[in-house]
Amino acid sequence: MLYKFEGATYLGELSARVLLVLPQDVVDRARALAGKTTAAYKLPVSLQVVLRALIEEALKRDDHPGLLSNIERQAQAVRQRRRTARAVGTRRGARSGRPARRA
């Protein structure tokens, strides 16, 4: 979130670090957008800035049917991957739950 303070814009102190795993084509498209934006505004625009802006804009449209169907599709895919991983682990004789951590 961007905040204004005495005319200057800065990122708020209430930020959190997030690891985001994305398909390569999504990263490539976001990089292309960063390049277009850099050229258009003659201002360096990073991949992080583009992703942050895309997330903020999407959250403003939280009731958009396309956004909701995309979220549902991704949640179903994660559920299927986890279900498959559990089934494979059970067939191999692994215990259910998280694997033990290595020291």
Asked whether residue 34 falls in the same domain as residue 51, the answer is yes
Asked whether residue 56 falls in the same domain as residue 68, the answer is no
Q: Which domain holds residue 72?
A: 63-92
Decide which of 18 and 37 is more confident. Answer: 37
List pLDDT tens digits, range 61-87.
989 999 999 999 999 999 999 999 999
Please check whether residue 72 lies inside any domain of the structure: yes
Strands (E), 1-103: 2-5, 8-11
pLDDT at 23: 93
Q: Per-residue pLDDT for 31 more than 60?
A: yes
Question: What is the count of structural domains for the chain?
Answer: 2
pLDDT at 91: 79
Asked whether residue 45 falls in the same domain as residue 72, the answer is no
Cβ–Cβ under 8 Å, residues 8 and 24: no
pTM for this entry: 0.64
